[in-house]
Amino acid sequence: MASGFLCQAQKRVRAAARVGGLLDAIIDANEMALAARCATGIQFAPVDAEALKIALQRAAELFSDRSTWIRMQRNGMATDVSWRKPAQRYATLYRELVSEPAT
């Protein structure tokens, strides 16, 4: 997973199957995400050759639109992949759980 985040930091637009942590790590370049200007990569499912082929075709189409591709690169680079926010949420949840009386 760390190598995927390194890809984003190096302006690489990722294409990945919709599995595990990649679901959260990549905002698919679908119509809505492109309109909202928040896409960071391409997701595909199922995990098979045909879906991968379609994802690569989508990548080629997106690459041909230079401004969209650059925006996706910048979005990926701006994505906070640190543990800071998740750690804060976990700490808050922990404090809430330990402060409640046991039932």
Give the model confidence (pLDDT) of 18-71 as tens digits.
987 777 789 999 999 999 999 999 999 999 999 999 999 999 999 999 999 999
Domains and CATH numbers, the chain: 2-99 (3.40.50.2000)
Q: Which residue has the higher pLDDT, 43 or 80?
A: 43
pLDDT of residue 1: 47
Q: What number of other Cβ atoms are within 10 A of residue 10's Cβ? A: 10
**Phi/psi at 65 (5° precision):** -100, 90
pLDDT of residue 25: 83
Whether the pLDDT of residue 11 is over 80: the answer is: no
Burial call 79-102: b when 16+ CB within 10 Å, e when fewer: beeeeeeeeeeeeeeeeeeeeeee
Whether the pLDDT of residue 6 is over 60: the answer is: no
Q: H helices within 1-103, ranges in order?
A: 2-9, 22-25, 31-36, 49-64, 66-78, 84-99
Name the pTM for this structure.
0.71
